[in-house]
Amino acid sequence: MSKPKLKSKGKAQSAPKSADNLGKSIMDSAQQIWLAGLGAFAKAQEEGTKLFDTLVREGVSLEQKTRKLALGKADSVRDAVETGVSQVKERTQETWDKLEKVFEDRVSRAMGKLGVPGRKELNEIAERVEELSREVRKLKPARAAAAADSAKPTAAKSAAAPKAKRQPKAKPSAAE
């Protein structure tokens, strides 16, 4: 036999209430989720701005450090290059001086073989010429005085006797 089913009025009325509560609960949850999303967005935006600012500051700091490091390296590289260049200049100058000396020696030897006097010989000759010039200067006043003494008696004689005219010499003939 079957049992008669009894419908209870309380359950029938609570089902719509429970559906309303469920709908309200879902709406409340959806609202909370929406608000949580907005809060997360606001927080992310706020934190994102702070994070962005922090990243910019760190980037500026890193760039400054990098520039200082690069300038330091550039200075050290420049110093190394300048040192290298000066060493090369010194070596080049030394080599050039040696080459110049060898060239001068060879030219001097070649000129010596040809009988051309060298620098040393020319300097000795110049000193000898200067010495002779000094001696000549010393002799000039003595000679002038001697010439003046001998010219005085001759002047009286020359005034008394007229000078003889010079006669032209005969041209030599082709037969001579």
Place of tokens 């200049």: 89
What pLDDT is stored for residue 157 in this prediction? Answer: 54
* Cβ proximity of 52 and 45 under 8 Å: no
Give the Cα-Cα-Cα angle 8, 12, 17 (nearest 5 degrees): 140
| Both tokens assigned to 42 | 């606001």
d(CA 163, CA 106): 65
CA distances to 106, 107, 121, 122 from 110, in Å: 6, 5, 15, 16
d(CA 27, CA 20): 10
Q: What is the pLDDT along the chain (176 residues), one digit of tens a residue?
A: 455 555 555 455 566 678 788 888 888 888 999 898 888 888 888 888 888 889 899 999 999 988 888 888 888 888 888 999 999 999 989 999 998 999 888 888 888 888 888 888 889 999 999 999 999 998 887 777 777 777 665 555 555 555 555 555 655 555 54
CA distances to 26, 27, 36, 42 from 33, in Å: 10, 10, 5, 14
What pLDDT is stored for residue 176 in this prediction? Answer: 46
Residue 117: CB partners within 8 Å, gap ≥ 6? Answer: 125
pLDDT more than 90, % of the chain: 20
What pLDDT is stored for residue 42 in this prediction? Answer: 84
Q: What is the DSSP letter of 122?
A: H
